[in-house]
């Protein structure tokens, strides 16, 4: 229906983008990333050896946001579910360029309990060949409704962590909240 198509086009996460309307068994979101825009500028602070990289934690955030969108429409809101990502593979680093628009697809295949982050760069935006897409990350999803466990990030880091060529800017400081 037209209402369902409109509901699928509502953006609910700033990096996930808009869910694409299709008849496939997978759910796909498309996002256009431009690090010159204010809502994406924080990504410029994630530099390693002078290259702006798409942070690994953002891949996980995209998959988490997509799963929550899918599960919130299917599951009882009273039940708190825990998503567990197993066998995460970061296949290829995604280097962001201030002169290039990036089209990022997040795909969730719930029947197989998998997610994928796929990129199509600006040069290939109007091409429709699957050869023009690059797989950057994938993993298995486990959904658990048992008691959640918390992980606390340490307040201190080793000298090796600090001096291992990371050039994090002010937007990538330690987050003081617990991760569940």
Q: Give the count of domains, the chain.
A: 1
CATH number for position 136 = 3.10.129.110
- Residue 67: name the closest of 33, 21, 128, 116 by CA: 116
Domain that holds residue 96: 2-148
Instruction: Look at the block and give the residue holding tokens 């500028």.
Output: 41
Assess if residue 38 is contained within a domain.
yes
What percent of the chain shows pLDDT beyond 90?
1
149-175: per-residue pLDDT in tens?
565 666 665 656 555 555 566 655 555
Mean pLDDT of 82-102: 85
54-88: per-residue pLDDT in tens?
888 888 888 888 888 888 765 455 566 788 888 88
Assess if residue 137 is contained within a domain.
yes
Assess if residue 131 is contained within a domain.
yes
Q: Which residue has the higher pLDDT, 140 or 30?
A: 30
89 half-sphere exposure, CB direction, 13 A CA radius: 11
Check whether 146 has a pLDDT greater than 50: yes
């Amino acid at each position: 229906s037209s209402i369902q198509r409109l509901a699928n086009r509502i953006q609910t996460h700033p990096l996930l983008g808009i869910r694409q309307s299709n008849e496939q068994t997978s759910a796909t979101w498309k996002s256009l990333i431009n690090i010159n825009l204010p809502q994406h500028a924080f990504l410029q602070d994630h530099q390693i050896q002078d290259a702006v990289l798409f942070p690994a934690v953002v891949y996980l955030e995209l998959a988490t946001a997509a799963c929550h969108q899918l599960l919130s429409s299917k599951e009882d809101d009273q039940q708190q579910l825990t998503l567990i990502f197993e066998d995460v593979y970061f296949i290829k680093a995604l280097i962001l360029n201030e002169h290039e628009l990036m089209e990022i697809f997040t795909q969730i295949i719930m029947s197989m309990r998998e997610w994928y982050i796929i990129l199509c760069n600006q040069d290939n935006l109007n091409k429709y060949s699957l050869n023009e897409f690059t797989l950057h990350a994938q993993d298995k999803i486990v959904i658990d409704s048992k008691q959640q466990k918390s992980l606390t990030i340490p307040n201190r880091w080793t000298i090796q962590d600090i001096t291992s060529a990371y050039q994090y800017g002010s937007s990538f400081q330690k987050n003081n909240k617990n991760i569940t």
